[in-house]
């Protein structure tokens, strides 16, 4: 993966585009995915600077990975913060990546409302949600 990313970043720089990877996360199948834990990102950051490689922080995946690997969500966000170029937002039950609409007064609002992320792209990733629920979430912003 590292060799492939080095080639992709080199190509992106040459073509003056920004490339980002998405954080992953699973609870039930955690042994099948890469890029879920703080340790993996610490290793990655030895090879890339924030101006070279961005990160799409998937909040739903973070919920699953932090539960599966027992690490602090906030500490993880602090670790990757300089690299984050987008926040991919959805809610789940901590066991499955359900892609549910966001709920008020949950742990991720502290992250979403962090002044550091004020101009960061926000991607709403909902599945099987009716338009009323989607509009309600949009109105949160």
CB 34 within 8 Å of CB 25 = no
Digit-coded pLDDT (tens) for 40-56: 999 999 999 999 999 99
Cβ-contact 57, 87 below 8 angstroms: yes
pLDDT tens-digit map of 86-109: 999 999 999 999 999 999 999 999
pLDDT for residue 137: 94
* Percent of the chain topping pLDDT 90: 99
Q: What is the pTM of this model?
A: 0.95
- Residue-wise pLDDT for 55-73, tens only, equals 999 999 999 999 999 999 9
Question: Strands 54-58 and 84-89: what pairing?
Answer: parallel
Please report, to the nearest 10 degrees, the dihedral formed by the alpha carbons of residues 38, 43, 46, 47 taken in order.
Answer: -120
Domains of the chain: which residue ranges? 40-140
Closest CA to 58 of 86, 29, 82, 30: 86
Q: Is pLDDT of 37 > 90?
A: yes
The pLDDT assigned to 141 comes to 87
């Amino acid at each position: 993966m590292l060799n492939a990313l080095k080639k992709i970043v080199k190509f992106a720089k040459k073509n003056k585009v920004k490339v980002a990877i998405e954080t992953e996360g699973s609870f039930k199948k955690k042994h099948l995915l890469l890029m879920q834990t703080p340790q993996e990102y610490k290793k990655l950051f030895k090879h890339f600077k924030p101006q070279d490689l961005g990160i799409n922080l998937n909040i739903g995946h973070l919920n699953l990975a932090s539960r599966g690997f027992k690490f602090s969500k906030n500490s993880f966000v602090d670790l990757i913060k300089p690299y984050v170029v987008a926040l991919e937002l959805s809610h789940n039950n901590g066991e499955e990546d359900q892609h549910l609409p966001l709920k008020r007064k949950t742990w991720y609002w502290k992250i979403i409302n962090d002044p550091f992320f004020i101009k960061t792209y926000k991607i709403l990733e909902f599945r099987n949600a009716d338009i009323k629920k989607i509009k309600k979430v949009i109105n949160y912003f």
